Amino acid sequence: MAKMLREGASYTQRDIIDILSEFSAFKDRVIKKFKDLSRELDGKANEHELWVNVYLISNDYAEEVSGKKLKLQEQMQKSIS
């Protein structure tokens, strides 16, 4: 998104609110996953499980961001056409 902003793309107030609400929803999901993870690992000394779960959460985020970028690019291309 930063690249599009640098290239001069403009966003409406609704676009910004949508972006912020999507981020907030993602943040809530991550917090919930980490709370579940902390309960699961409570009293265990299994660091490997922690890092595997952190990797899975970050991978989910990367896939989500990638999908949103593609969707946004498609929308921009349609609006330019």
Whether pLDDT at 1 is above 60: no
Interval 25-73: pLDDT, tens: 888 888 888 888 777 777 766 677 777 878 888 888 888 888 888 888 8
Pull the structure tokens for residue 56: 């899975």
Predicted local distance difference test score (pLDDT) of residue 9 = 62
The pTM of the full predicted model, rounded to 2 decimals, is: 0.41
**Separation in Å, CA 47 to CA 2, 22, 55, 73:** 35, 30, 12, 39
Average pLDDT of 9-16? 75
